[in-house]
Amino acid sequence: MTIMRKLLALLLVLGMVAFTTDYAVAQDGEQTVGEQVIEGAQDAAEAAGDMAQDAAETVGDAAGDLADTAANVVAPKKFGHQLLKEYFIQGGWQFMALVLVCLILGLAFCIERIITLNLASANTDKLVARVDDALRNGDMAQAKEICKSTPGPAASIIHEGLKRSGGGLESVEKAMVSYGSVQMGLLEKGLVWISLFIAIAPMLGFMGTVIGMITAFDKIEEVGDINPSIVAGGIKVALLTTVFGLITAIILQIFYNYIVSKIDSIVNRMEDASTSLVDVLIDNKVIS
Q: Give pLDDT, residue 194.
A: 94
Length of the chain: 288
Q: What is the pLDDT of residues 49-60, one digit of tens each?
A: 555 455 445 545
Instruction: For the chain, list residues with pLDDT below 70.
Output: 1-93, 225-234, 288
Cα–Cα separations (whole angstroms), residue 272 to 31, 110, 123, 251, 276: 121, 26, 11, 32, 6
Residues 6+ apart with CB under 8 A from 284: 132, 135, 136
Q: What span, in angstroms and rounded, lies between the C-alpha atoms of 140 and 155?
A: 15
Q: Give pLDDT, residue 263.
A: 92
Q: Give pLDDT, residue 76.
A: 47
User: Is residue 213 within 8 Å of 238, Cβ to Cβ?
Assistant: yes
Q: Give pLDDT, residue 39.
A: 55
Cα–Cα separations (whole angstroms), residue 96 to 54, 110, 121, 191, 261: 54, 21, 37, 24, 31
Q: Give pLDDT, residue 67.
A: 47
Q: What span, in angstroms and rounded, lies between the C-alpha atoms of 250 and 235?
A: 23
Q: Give pLDDT, residue 83.
A: 61
